[in-house]
Amino acid sequence: MADKNKSLDAVKAAASQPKKKRSIRKYFKDAKSEFKKVVWPSRKQVFNNTVVVIISLVVSGAAIWLLDTGFGSLLKLALGRFN
């Protein structure tokens, strides 16, 4: 039981101490070192990925347009029969 009290006292003491503030200089230094680790894509990779995204958007838009047109026609047909 004494061990629990000692560890509890240590936790309370650590929690009551003010946290050390990190300086803004350290923050930017760490950020700079992280940016050096990033593997940036080449211009060709960015272009190819952009083309893929644009083509995907056009195909998705066309599919949604076709579905919307089809369901709209079905709705008009169904409502026309009930009038």
Predicted confidence (pLDDT) per residue in 18-36, tens digit: 556 668 889 999 999 999 9
Predicted confidence (pLDDT) per residue in 40-71, tens digit: 999 999 999 999 999 999 999 999 999 999 99
Residues 49, 41 contacting (CB under 8 angstroms): yes
HSE-up of 70 (CA within 13 Å, CB side)? 6
Q: Which amino acid is at 82?
A: F
Q: For the CA atoms of 47, 48, 54, 59, what is the dihedral angle to 10 degrees?
A: 170
* pTM recorded for the entire structure: 0.54
